[in-house]
Amino acid sequence: MKRLNLLFGAAALIAVSMTASPSLMAQENGNRDENGKVVRGPYETNRFGDNWFIGAGGGINSFWIEGMDAENMKIAPSVDAYFGKWFTPSVGMRAGYQGIGAEMNQDKFGYMYIHGDFLWNISNAFSGYKETRFWNFVPYLHAGYFRSFDFDNSDFTGNEIAAGAGLVHNLRLVDRLDLVIDMRATLVNGRVVNSTGLAVLPTVTMGLAVDLGWPNFLRTSTIVGAVEAAAAENMAVMETAALALEMANIALEEQNADLAAANKKLKKENATLKTQVVSTDALFNDMGPATLYFNIGESELCAKELQHLDFIATNLLTKVDKDTKIYITILGTADSTTGSMQRNEHLSKARGEYIYNLLTGKYGITPGRLVMQSEVIPHPADPAMARSVVIKF
């Protein structure tokens, strides 16, 4: 028992002394800024597949319960296997298995302890993250399921919940490969070995751990630097674009000024035109006659020619009647190739009177503005053209 106490005491003393040593906590200066101050983050959140690790080791343990004679405590072999993940340079978790066998009061029994651990890397927490640091100290708390079972001369089994604390010494050998010294104390109810009180299982193991995925962390400052550089570049591009837009805006303002001046000129010309009196006398004097055609032997217009008359009366004759001094001549005609002269004279006059009555009665043309005429056209080149009423101005 004295040898066991000496072994555990020496291991604990070495661990505490190395953990408390500032020279070992900050062995390298890559985790300091230009002023020599330790840089502790913040760090970019890692991806799910980054910073995983898996490991295994072997060592010794001893089992002690309250009231046990120290001479009955024996050293027995123990193995560890685990896997876990670092979420930040200082905080991680792992799940593991510990077991093989233990010895107590001449009884040898088997056990297994399936546990989950909460890890705290105090080297990274206090001295800043350093990828190439040789020695990291990681205290942790653990809890899980503890089972004892028959082994050699024992005749008992038990299942309990166990918990405790430990300290990992993580020594970097090469990239992705570490030497791990794990010192753990596990507390469990003595019922697992048909006893009373509290049982303690101290364990020391040594093994290897392998880093999986991308095993490092990026400090946010490096990300910020890259973002700032990109932002500066984008700012230069935006300033160039802003200058181009400003020049285009100046050109548009000049165009707007020119358009405003042209618009002002057009408004002035339009106002001038509105004040001018337009003589419609000359306009109507220059207009050619309007002709309405009748069917042979008829003195009334067909529907098509009535629409023609409506357009002439509505758009021209009413204007003449109201705004000008132009007289309107209504000339009724007939051709001499059909019927007697007496019949043709009567027909030409009847056609003129028909148009006269429509203009005065339907369209409101002042009768004093209308001049009635009629004639029979001898030997017309086109007899159909001679069967008409011609309205002249």
280-392 has CATH 3.30.1330.60 classification: yes
Identify the pLDDT of residue 185: 95
The pLDDT assigned to 234 comes to: 84
Q: How far apart are CA 39 and CA 126, in angstroms?
A: 9
Distances (CA, A) of 209 to 15, 103, 119, 179, 352: 19, 28, 15, 7, 123
Query: What integer best gives the mean pLDDT of the chain?
Result: 82
Helix (H, G, I), strand (E, B) or coil at 392: strand
Q: In the predicted model, what is the mean pLDDT of residues 37-44?
A: 71
pLDDT in tens, 253-291: 989 999 999 898 888 888 877 666 445 555 555 566 888
Question: Peptide bond preceding 367: is omega within 30 degrees of 0, i.e. cis?
Answer: no
Res. 145: pLDDT tops 70: yes
pLDDT at 5: 53
Cα–Cα distance between 15 and 12 in angstroms, integer?
5
Domain residue spans of the chain: 2-222, 280-392
Of the candidate ranges 68-72, 118-122, 369-373, the one whose mean pLDDT is the lowest: 68-72
Confidence band of 17 (pLDDT split at 50, 70, 90): very low
The dihedral formed by the CA atoms of 298, 299, 302 and 305, expressed in degrees to the nearest 10:
130
* Report field, pTM of the whole predicted structure over 0.75: no
Structural Rg of the chain based on CA atoms? 58
Place of tokens 């106490």: 5
> Averaged over 25-42, what is the pLDDT?
59
Given this model, what pLDDT does residue 321 score? 62
The helix/strand/coil state of 195 is coil
For residue 168, pLDDT over 90 is answered with yes
The larger pLDDT score, comparing residue 202 to residue 15, is at 202
User: Residue 229 — very low, low, confident or very high, per pLDDT cuts 50/70/90?
Assistant: low
Give the number of C-alpha atoms closer than 13 A to the C-alpha of residue 53, restricted to the C-beta side: 24
Interatomic CA distance for residues 347 and 338, integer angstroms: 11
Q: Which fold has domain 2-222?
A: Porin (2.40.160)
CB 72 within 8 A of CB 104: yes
Are 108 and 101 in contact, with CB atoms under 8 Å apart? yes
User: Looking at 15-29, 106-120, 341-355, which range is the least confident one?
Assistant: 15-29
Query: Is 280-392 the same fold as 2-222?
Result: no
Q: What is the pLDDT of residue 210?
A: 95
Looking at residue 102, its pLDDT comes to 86
Non-local (6+) Cβ contacts of 85 within 8 A are: 51, 52, 53, 92, 93, 94
The average pLDDT across 142-168 equals: 89
Q: Examine the pLDDT at 186 and tell me if it is beyond 90.
A: yes
Which are the contacts of 79, defined by CB distance < 8 A and separation ≥ 6?
56, 57, 58, 59, 97, 98, 99, 100, 205
Query: What is the per-residue pLDDT for 224?
Result: 54
Task: Check whether 322 has a pLDDT greater than 80.
Answer: no
Predicted local confidence at residue 169, as pLDDT: 96
pLDDT of residue 4: 47
pLDDT greater than 80 at residue 166:
yes
What value does the mean pLDDT take over residues 44-58?
A: 90
Higher pLDDT, 337 or 49: 49
Q: Please report, for residues 22, 61, 329, 375, the alpha-carbon distance to residue 357 in angstroms, rounded to integers and kept in the order given.
A: 126, 135, 13, 18
First-last CA distance in the chain: 144
Percentage of the chain modeled with pLDDT above 70: 80
pLDDT number for residue 178: 95
H/E stretch holding 10 reads helix 2-19
Q: Name the phi and psi angles at 46, rounded to 5.
A: -80, 165
**In the prediction, which pLDDT does 25 show?**
44
> Which range has highest mean pLDDT (54-68, 76-90, 299-313)?
76-90
